[in-house]
């Protein structure tokens, strides 16, 4: 078998780190892309409707300008049923995923504490003898 030189090992680690970085960036990009699509599909129609309503003068936005329009559309969108539903869906999904993880973690902690307690009893017994 041939030995790997320190230089080759260093180069391999560099390539591996770069690959992991690109993988994390791609995963982050895909997640952001998914979230944008989710928000657009959930709230796109509400935002368009509120924008139309405010620009036609049906809204109660005081003043003029883009800042007032954005504020009014944002406020009304956040008060909408669609927004509340959009926010609740990921919460419910996360609870389904996270709850078993928390339970497993707690069980592991209890086992660890039991093992440490047993180890302490054994070591104290050995010391007293």
pLDDT value of residue 117: 86
Return the percent helix, strand and coil in the chain, to nearest 5.
85, 0, 15
The pLDDT value given to residue 129: 65
pTM: 0.52
Distance of CA 127 to the CA centre of its chain: 49
| Residue 122 vs residues 4, 114, 115, 116, 128: alpha-carbon distances, Å | 46, 12, 11, 10, 10
Give the model's pLDDT for residue 64. 61
Give strand ranges (E) for the chain: none
Tokens of 62: 């005081």
pLDDT beneath 50: ranges in the chain = 1, 61
Residues 6+ apart with CB under 8 A from 47: 73, 77
What's the CA gap between 115 and 4, in Å, rounded? 41
Q: Which tokens go with 74?
A: 């944002």
Specify the pLDDT at position 2: 62
Q: Where are the domains of the chain?
A: 1-79, 87-129
């Amino acid at each position: 078998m041939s030995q790997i030189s320190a230089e080759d090992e260093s180069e391999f680690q560099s390539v591996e780190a770069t690959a992991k970085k690109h993988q994390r960036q791609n995963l982050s990009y895909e997640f952001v892309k998914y979230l944008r699509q989710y928000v657009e599909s959930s709230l796109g129609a509400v935002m368009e409707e509120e924008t139309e309503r405010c620009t036609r003068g049906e809204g109660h936005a005081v003043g003029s300008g883009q800042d007032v329009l954005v504020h009014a559309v944002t406020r009304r969108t956040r008060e909408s049923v669609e927004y509340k539903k959009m926010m609740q869906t990921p919460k419910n999904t996360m609870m389904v995923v996270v709850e078993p993880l928390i339970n497993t973690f707690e069980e592991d902690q209890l086992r660890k504490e039991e093992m440490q307690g047993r180890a302490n009893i054994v070591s104290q017994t050995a010391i007293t003898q």
